[in-house]
Amino acid sequence: MLEHHFAQISDDVAVQLVPCYDEFLQLANSLHLPHANHSKPTWLQICLSHNETLASYRHKFFSQANTDLTAAMQDYQSDVLGLLHNALKAIEELLGPPPCPWSLGVMGSFARGDMSLLSDLDMFVLIKEQNKRAHPYFKTAMQLFRLYLISLADPWKFNNAPLSSGLFIDDGDWILMFLEQEASDVDQRIRLINTPGNLANQVIHHLTNSNTSIYDHKNYSEWLLAYSLLTIKPVYSSAGGAALIEEYGKFLQNAQGLDLIKIGEASLSALEHQVPILSRLTNRKNDAESFLMRKTP
């Protein structure tokens, strides 16, 4: 059945799906879904339907951007927010009731309101309980979500294809969510599947620790992640999950020694000293320019 559906995908979409095809089948075959309602659309049907929907959002963006770029960005973010919310809701329905309330949020350009077609997704997951029973569920949910994003014909991160339109999981987020055990400094890394209190404490630690030099590239990446986690936007919350976002915000508001003005000044100063970061921003600008030249009608 899966092979039949894949055969109907257009060539350009199929090129993006091939690298994850075996992974998709392996994960799909390993899932036991006693709560699945077979009268509902299959997971692959959802992915293909959303692919068409996202294509219409991209077309709408280009139509608006020629006259009002700000309005185009705002509409695109609103459209994408609804699309991702529906995908995460479908994932929860496939996996069955979560072991505890949870909420997925974004930071970075999506949270700031300046997301465009080339923006990636910087994500985090707040969970009510930090236990061994909870993590496998949410890691599986994020694996499905990652494959869902790939099925939207956005770039598979590990090939040489040009950017399509973003909506891929940031490399750093992926490592911190799933490969943290492979980091030698795991105790010093911010864990992005976390309880509100633990995540807030890690953010506060990295932003206020006087022994940390943000001009060191290794420390800077963690400091910048903590800084990004000051501005967040909820995307999906399970029953009871919305309170987790509020709880996280209260932890930050009540934090002692969190001088936001000083932190903001430090972020600008650090950026000026980070040649690799500036180079990456320049590359993103070049990607955007070439993308617009290639795609604009």
Higher pLDDT among residues 69 and 150, named by residue: 69
pLDDT at 90: 92
State the Cα–Cα distance between residues 256 and 252, nearest whole angstrom: 9
> Does the predicted model carry a pTM greater than 0.85?
no
Sheet holding 193-194, edge to edge: 193-194, 122-127, 102-107, 233-237
**Exposure of 214 by Cβ count < 10 A (0-12 exposed, 13-18 middle, 19+ buried)?**
buried
What rounded mean pLDDT belongs to the chain? 72
- pLDDT of 79-136, one tens digit each? 999 999 999 999 999 899 999 999 999 998 899 888 888 788 889 999 998 776 777 8
Tokens 């990446």: give the residue.
Answer: 221
pLDDT at 116: 82
pLDDT band at 24 (very low <50, low <70, confident <90, very high): very low
Taking only Cα atoms into account, the Rg of the chain, rounded to an integer number of angstroms, comes to: 20
Higher pLDDT among residues 218 and 206, named by residue: 206
State the Cα–Cα distance between residues 159 and 240, nearest whole angstrom: 39
Which ranges in 104-185 belong to alpha helices (H)? 108-112, 134-151, 171-178
- pLDDT of 254-294, one tens digit each? 887 777 667 766 666 655 555 444 444 444 444 444 444 44
The distance in angstroms from the start CA to the end CA of the chain is: 36
Given a cut of 80, whether residue 207 has pLDDT beyond it is: yes
Domain boundaries, the chain: 2-295
